[in-house]
Amino acid sequence: MSDSPVIRRERPDHPQVVALLDALDAYLGTLYAPEQNYIVGVQALLAPEVDFWAAWAGEQAVGCGAVRRMAGDAQTGGQAYGEIKRMFVAPAQRGRRIAERLLTALEAGLAQAGVTLALLETGRDQTEAVRLYERCGYVPRGPFGGYPDNGLSVFYAKALTA
């Protein structure tokens, strides 16, 4: 296994990626009721407005993340944005800054496309995710994109340089 996983664009329906997404879904299922999980399925991740990335350690997928380019709405003052989705790193691979590197790749892709706002929703009980996003410069904001303000979700934003 390589010391530093390679971060690259990947299809979300790759079997190893599907296994990561299944592990993420199982984890989220231990934290929240099904109606409190806002999971984007593999088919939706194949949409042209979605960029999906994976981290590979040798021949093994060890992490993933996606960004969905969205038109602006009232909650963003009409500003188009990229929504960070489906971030996950295999538990045995954590602590190696893989998620940070994935997030950097997602942000760079948005900036190259001229999108200067990254938004995300995560669960308040996902403390590792909250720490990651805050460490990477995301700041709290209100709900967006139709997410309810249910007390379980936390919302973040980051301005990107195009």
For 11-53, the pLDDT digits (tens) are 999 999 999 999 999 999 898 887 777 888 999 999 999 999 9
Please tell me the predicted confidence (pLDDT) of residue 89: 97
Cα 120–Cα 153–Cα 160 angle in degrees, nearest 5: 20
Q: Express each pLDDT in 116-132 by its tens digit.
A: 999 999 999 999 999 99
Is residue 35 assigned to a domain?
yes
Following DSSP, what letter does each residue of 66-123 receive, concatenated?
EEEEE---GGGTT--EEEEEEEEE-GGGTTSSHHHHHHHHHHHHHHHTT--EEEEEEE
Average pLDDT, rounded, for the chain: 94
Domain CATH code at residue 68 = 3.40.630.30
Closest CA to 141 of 52, 92, 77: 77
pTM over 0.75? The answer is yes
Mean pLDDT lowest among 27-36, 62-71, 82-91: 27-36
- Predicted confidence at residue 1, as pLDDT, reads 43
Domain hosting 125: range is 6-159
The number of distinct structural domains making up the chain is 1
- Tell me how far apart the alpha carbons of residues 39 and 59 are, in angstroms, rounded to a whole number: 26
Tell me, yes or no, whether 18 lies in a domain.
Answer: yes
Mean pLDDT along residues 90-111: 96
Please check whether residue 1 lies inside any domain of the structure: no
User: pLDDT > 70: what percent of the chain?
Assistant: 98
| Mean per-residue pLDDT, 61-86 | 95
Mean pLDDT of 68-78: 93
SS3 state of residue 52: strand
| Statement: residue 2 has pLDDT above 60 | no
